[in-house]
Chains A and B, each alone.
Chain A
Amino acid sequence: MSYHDTPPTGGPARRRRRSKAVRRITGGLALLFALTALGLAYLTFAPKAQTATAADVDAAQVAAGKQVYDNTCITCHGANLQGVVGRGPSLVGVGEAAVYFQVSSGRMPADANGAQIQPKEPLIKPEDIDSLGAYIQDNGGGPVIPDGNLRNDAEISRGGELYRLNCASCHNFTGQGGALSQGKYAPAMTEATDRQIYGAMLSGPQNMPKFGDGQLTSNEKQAIISFIQNNKATIDPGGYSAGGFGPAPEGLIAFLVGMGAIVAATLWMGSRA
């Protein structure tokens, strides 16, 4: 379309004046809109700071946590959470997530240093675990397990996919765990609760790598937990899982029971002939 096709709708000067005003207003509005959108987008995408804010801190709970720490943890982790060489690592920055996983599964306080700290009946009461977590969180921050439901049943198949990619190499495809080097092992997850699995992913206990929220979002972690827990609650179609280790024990059972039955039947028939 050429310039001459459009009939002019007013004097050239007036048109120029109006369009200048309109341009100013629309330009201003566009700038305002862009800035607002940018701000909103920043709010959406900006990572949440992983430090405890002042409102979260309950001074009484922190004091109670310090009491628990001084009674049970201080020998190996030091008076200022700095760790003791040859006994235990620094706890600065490990966060509430690590405290919850280690203490609620009975790994901490540990019986002895070894290839791997063993889980056992927890020694510390649940409310004391919370206080201890608040104390550690207050002194150095770190990852925190979110409150509320930690399952994502809607995305359970995606959870399975992520489990097989990130977890199954060590923890086995049915969550039964497996051996690592020099006496270390990836534990079975038969006893693990939703919160413990979440805490383990966040904090990377012992030789497990960490899976921060940038790597597996909270949603993805919850989908993995749903997959693990549903797996545990599923009845084995054969009636018996044979340890959940797959073809090796299943083949052994098939061989021993099947071949045993055939040999027994053959011997019986021979004895009756």
Chain B
Amino acid sequence: MTGNPNLQVPDEDELRTMSREERAHLGMALDGVELAEYGERYVPGSPADKHAERHVAMWFLLAALFGLIFILVFIFWPAEYEPAYSDRQWIYALYTPLIGLTLGATILLFGLGVVSLAKKIMPHEVAVQQRHVGMSDEVDRQTLAAQVLDTGDKAGIKRRGMLMGSLLAAGGALGVAALVPVLGGLIKNPWAERADSPLWVTPWAPAPDGTKVRMVQIDGTPVKPADMTAGSMMTVFPGVPGGAKASDAAVMLFRLRSDSVVRIRDGQQGFQFGDFYAFSKICTHVGCPVSLYEQQTGRVLCPCHQSQFNVYEGAFPVFGPATRPLPQLPIELDSEGYFVATKDFIEAVGPGFWENGKFPAWYSEPKEASG
């Protein structure tokens, strides 16, 4: 900012004789600001002046009061959880709104105090500042550029190769670090294990010794046919350690009514046991849990994007963005009468990926007697 070139800069003796107000005016004048109007807002000590002071003080006092209430509520309010039907539930329920309202009020009232301080107490002024038009003068631009470049020359940037190299290394590492979360997924090859790749194998696969995996409820109870009534659906998990937490293992076990007309997907005859059918619970669109089962229409709905699968038609998608049927898990009973998975799913569970084999067969055939 260029100052006023016509201004006479006073020497030290003159400065000493000037009043504080004069020096303040001089400082502004040196910055190119002229005060057209300046002074107290009200006559000091007048009723209007006192009224303005009280007005501003009121906001600050209210802010202080609410701040104090916030502190007291935060420390002393009985914030312990009270269950439903308890007489003291409302005390617990009030805690969060109270600390929010009191702290919010403190900040708001403090802000109002500052605004009214500026409007009612601070001196009123009308200031005019001289500003140049357009870009800076040629001389200003040339000198500034020279300053910047000269600083670089004096620091010897050009001859300090080690410094520049290390700076480039740091910048490069930072850039790569930003890319790693995006590209890191490409490092591990999911196909290194070929047929045993985790994309194909779920915890339902029988153990190496041939032991078949039991279907259990979430609490570990094994499931037998008599547990389910016709028209029911149960979410079951593989009865192996960590089975209930595995993201690809959740299965819906349906017991359809015996008079339901059911069609079986090509090559999956016998995957059912009587009226019991097990389908993966993981949507083939983007992997949400499908579980909204309409037991009369036989549709299972996905809550995320409204895909619908028809259990009577091999869990084919009948609506929404999913394009593949839910994979069916082949099931049978073990020697103790509990459900087990005969083998693992015959296709990959969940959303599709490039290598997910050929498009599954879509035509279906009537159910054969089984179970």
Contacts and interface: CB of A to CB of B under 8 A. Distances in A.
Interface in B250-295: 289, 291-295
Interface stretch (A20-28, A35-43, A200-208): A200-208
A180 B232 contact: no
Given A181-B308, A230-B84, A235-B90, A210 B97 contact: no
A234 B230 contact: no
A161 B217 CA distance: 13
Contacts of A239: 93, 97
Contacts of A169: 289, 291-292, 303
Contacts of A210: 229-232, 295
Interface in B206-237: 217-218, 224, 226-235
A204 B85 contact: no
Nearest to A47: B226
B165 interface: no
Contacts of A166: 235
A13 interface: no
Contacts of A229: 84
A80 interface: no
A204 B116 CA distance: 65
A140 interface: no
Contacts of B232: 204, 209-212, 215
Nearest to A239: B97
Given A169-B303, A204-B295, A237-B96, A230 B227 contact: no
Nearest to A235: B93
B227 A180 contact: no
A112 interface: no
Nearest to B85: A233
A165 B84 contact: no
Given A212-B227, A230-B83, A233-B84, A180 B301 contact: yes
Interface string B235-254: 10000000000000000000
Interface string A156-184: 00000100011001100000001011001
Given A212-B227, A214-B227, A214-B228, A181 B294 contact: yes
B228 A212 contact: yes
Contacts of B303: 169, 178
B4 interface: no
Interface residues of B, number: 35
Contacts of B297: 181, 184, 207
Contacts of A238: 96-97
A193 interface: no
A176 B13 CA distance: 83
A58 interface: no
Interface string A31-56: 00000000000000001000000000
B227 A215 contact: yes
A236 B16 CA distance: 68
B294 A180 contact: yes
A186 B295 CA distance: 12
Contacts of A186: 292
A181 B319 contact: yes
Given A181-B299, A181-B308, A215-B234, A170 B229 contact: no
B96 A209 contact: no
A207 B218 contact: no
Interface in B291-316: 291-297, 299, 301, 303, 308
A207 B231 CA distance: 9
B230 A214 contact: no
Nearest to B90: A235
B89 interface: yes
Contacts of A211: 232
Contacts of B224: 214
Interface in A190-223: 204, 206-212, 214-215
Contacts of B234: 215
B295 A208 contact: yes
Interface of B: 83-85, 89-90, 93, 95-97, 217-218, 224, 226-235, 289, 291-297, 299, 301, 303, 308, 319
Q: Which 7 A-B pairs have the closest CB atoms?
A: A214-B227, A233-B84, A235-B93, A212-B229, A207-B294, A230-B84, A169-B291
27 contacts: A165-B218, A169-B291, A169-B303, A178-B292, A181-B294, A181-B297, A181-B308, A184-B294, A184-B297, A204-B231, A204-B295, A207-B294, A210-B229, A210-B231, A212-B227, A212-B229, A214-B224, A215-B227, A215-B229, A215-B234, A229-B84, A230-B83, A230-B85, A231-B84, A233-B85, A235-B90, A237-B93
